[in-house]
Amino acid sequence: MGVVYKATDTRLDRPVAMKFLSEQFSREPQALERFRQEARAASALNHPQICTIYDIGEHNRQPFIVMEYLEGESLKDRILKGPIPTEQLLDISIQISSALEAAHAKGIIHRDIKPANIFLTRSNQVKILDFGLAKLAPGQAGSDSTTLGTSAKTAMGTTVGTVAYMSPEQARAEEIDPRSDLFSVGVVLYEMATGQQAFAGASIAVVYDSILNRDPAPPARLNTSIPTQLDQTIQKALEKDRRMRYQHCSELRTDLERLRRDWMTGRSTFVQVRDVTPRITRVPTELEAEVIGGRSPKMAFFLGMIPGVGALYNAQYKKAAIHFVIFSALTALNSAVRAAESLESFFSFLVFGFWAYMVFDSYHTTKLRSKRVP
């Protein structure tokens, strides 16, 4: 709906971002009001994690907003690279909850919290963008109502926002309160922790059904590196019943800060994910034993007849050297004592016995290894 340009504030000699409403939308009253509403809502908030609005104006009948210029990437682009490490995830989450806490304190509900509306600067600072769908929380009329204007109210039965990040009450087009934003934050946390959307589907109808009736897989099942407390925090934020969810941003922020403290001091615990898939215990066939690991007991038997080679076949290099040395020594002694008939028989027996041992050891070692394959 908007196009953003980098510009220079010639009066203060600083870079700024100028967001113009696209020409096709500038003729639509609803889009125009949403654009102005974004400026009004964001300018009413003074918080380091909310993008600062400098000015609003119009050029050639095209409205524009002048805002602070940010360098970095959106959270959406960052998640595309994979799950975010726990320490960084906690830092981002705390900043998001802090910004929303300030907005909610002013009676402003964002209604469109999603990775695309969260920006990460090069200095690891979070900036929340796009308050175009913001509205006043119930019971916040009065002096604050001038912040957004009367048109900020949404008609009953109308849903606004991005479907995959809507709260259940938002999807049902019910009256919402700040707890709706907290559900959306939970969806964002889930995506940061797992790299996957909590609610996805081939159609909007499927996504709505997931939000309203289905629970996503526990984050720890998809990413076993996250601590138990984070898994529980995300699942609490994703409670479909808003009464069971976090009631205030301050509660979520406190839990995240406590978790960051425990993580930094090594006191975090981890979810033990059990594989409940039934296993069938069986002895592998000779063919399977040959395929797995590339070693066959039958081949080991025949190679074991050659001094040291059977052990080499089983990758037992020290044993192979020992076998070769011992067999060579016994053979040499047997040749040296041929003059003494009694000693010759004794050493011949030792040579044969050690040869038989090498064959058995090579075969038995390979057989044991093949049995370990499930």
Bridge partners of 9?
14
Annotated catalytic residue within 9, 13, 112, 209: 112
* Annotated catalytic residue 112: yes
Decide if 298 contacts 286 (C-beta within 8 A).
yes
The two structure tokens encoding residue 78: 């960052």
SS3 for the chain is: CEEEEEEEECCCCEEEEEEEECHHHHCCHHHHHHHHHHHHHHHCCCCCCECCEEEEEEECCEEEEEEECCCEEEHHHHHCCCCCCHHHHHHHHHHHHHHHHHHHHCCEECCCCCHHHEEEECCCCEEECCCCCCEECCCCCCHHHHCCCHHHCCCCCCCCCCHHHCCHHHHCCCCCCHHHHHHHHHHHHHHHHHCCCCCCCCCHHHHHHHHHHCCCCCHHHHCCCCEHHHHHHHHHHCCCCCCCCCCCHHHHHHHHHHHHHHHHCCCCCECCCCCCCCCCCCCCCHHHHHHCCCCCHHHHHHHCCCCCHHHHHCCCHHHHHHHHHHHHHHHHHHHHCCCCHHHHHHHHHHHHHHHHHHHHHHHHHHHHHHHCCC
**With 0-12 CB in 10 A as exposed, 13-18 as middle and 19+ as buried, what is 259?**
buried
Catalytic residue IDs: 112
